[in-house]
Amino acid sequence: MKQIISTNNAPKAIGPYSQAVEANGTLFISGQIPLDPATGKFVEGGISEQTEQVMKNIGAILKEAGYDFGDVVKSTCLLSDMSNFAAMNEVYGKYYLENPPARATYAVVKLPLGALVEIETVACR
């Protein structure tokens, strides 16, 4: 059975997709960009601030669905510039101090709304 997960503590979807979908004990979180859910605008600053906001958005969705960062099994990180990898990685790592999930990181030509980073996440119970 599939359940749509939505929270006002993360940005609303900017297209025809859900913030997250849970199916059979697995939570699939759509790619999150650094929008502040309170303002609907990007957080100010560079890659570190944007990554921090993305992780807060992911945390809000995990919480809404009854999961936490310890349940995350896979992340896919998209960067607009691979030179931002180290700074993104430093912020990302604060959320996974033990038993980090599997992960892939790619540089892409462009991200939605000009974001520097987007992260999608899969969590399991």
Give the residue numbers spanning the domain of 25. Answer: 2-124
The SS3 call for residue 54 is helix
38-95 per-position pLDDT tens digit: 999 999 999 999 999 999 999 999 999 999 999 999 999 999 999 999 999 999 999 9
What is the total count of domains within the chain? 1
Tell me what pLDDT residue 13 has.
87
Output the pTM of the full model: 0.96
pLDDT at 3 over 90: yes
Reported in sequence order, the residue ranges of 33-93 that DSSP labels E, i.e. its strands, are 35-36, 41-42, 72-79
Q: Is residue 29 within 8 Å of 123, Cβ to Cβ? A: yes
91-120 per-position pLDDT tens digit: 999 999 999 999 999 999 999 999 999 999
CATH of the domain at 89: 3.30.1330.40
Ramachandran angles phi, psi of 51, nearest 5°: -65, -40
